[in-house]
Structure 1
C-alpha cells in the first residue's frame, strides 16, 4: 500500500508547568488522526488514570527487560521511576502515514533524535515566560505537594538548559498563540522531503516523460 507521506515523530518537551500537556491535548483536537505515544512507567497510577490510556503501568523488572531487548524507543529515570516509549506501536503508526506525538523530557528527545527514526523526528521545546510564572502554574494545577513542586522547580533549569538541542523553541506566554505556532510548524514539516516517499517515483516518472518527449 502506498502512502502520501511518512508519519512524523513529534516531540514536545518543557519543564513541568510550561504547558506541554495542555498543548498536546489541543493538537490532538486539531488533528484527531494524531496518535499519542502512551508511555510505559514504573510509577503507581494517580487517581483517575487508566492503564493503557494514560500510561502502560509496568513492573520495574518487566520495564528493564524491554529496555535490554531493544523494545523501548527511549527511556529515562525521573523522580525515582522509569518512563519509556515502546518502539513497536510507533513504527507501525508512522509506516501508515500517521504522526505520533511524544510528551517527553530532553533525555527521551535526544534518544529518539539519535535513533534510526531520527530523520523523521520533529522536536519542539516550550519555554515558560518566567520562572515566577512557572512556579505559579505548578502550584495552581494542584497535582503535587509542596515538596514535589520544589523538586520540579529544582529540575526545571536542567530541562531548560537543553533548549538548544531542539528544532524549534517557543515561549509559551499565550496558549492560543503557541497553539497556532505549533500547527504551522507541524504543517510545514509534514511537507519535508524526507516525509514524502512518493516523490522519488514521481521524479523518475518525470524523467522518463522528459526522455520520451521528441
Structure 2
C-alpha cells in the first residue's frame, strides 16, 4: 500500500492542510455523516456512467464493481454511526465536487474524459485523507479508514485509465486544469466542514 499511497501523493497537487485534520477531529460525527454521503454519491456517479455509456464494456465492468464497493462502504459507515449514536441526515453539499465539475466540458468525448478525471481526483483525495486521518483516530475508525485505502487507490487508477482510454492517449493537459482547481478547493478556507472541504475559517 505504501507504493500506491506514494503514487497518490505524487499525483495530487498538495497535501491536506493540517488544519483540516484538526477540524475533522473536532467534528467527527459530521465527518462520518458526510463520509456516508460521499460513498453514496460515488456509487451514484458510477451508475450514471453505466447508464450513459452503455457501449463501453470496460467502463461498465469497472463502474459496476466500483458501485458495489462504494455501497458496501456506505453500509459500513452507517454501521459505525449506528454504534456511536450518530444519526444519518441531510447535509448541504461541499463546494469541492461542484467546484471540480465546473471545468467539465459539455460534449463527448471531452465530457466523458473530464468526468473520469474528476472521479480519479476525488478518489485520490479520499485515499490521501483516509491515510492522513488514520493515525489520529480511535482504533475502530483508524482500522476502518486504513482498510479503505486499497480500494480507493484502485478506484483512482481505474478512473484515470478509463480517462486515457476515452481520450485515446495521455490526459495531462486536462488533468493540469483540474488539479489546479483542486489545489484551490483543498487549500482555501471553507465556512462549513465536509470530508472534502478546505480548512475552516
TM-score by length of 2: 0.27
Instruction: Give the structure with the higher percent strand.
Output: 1
TM-score by length of 1: 0.26
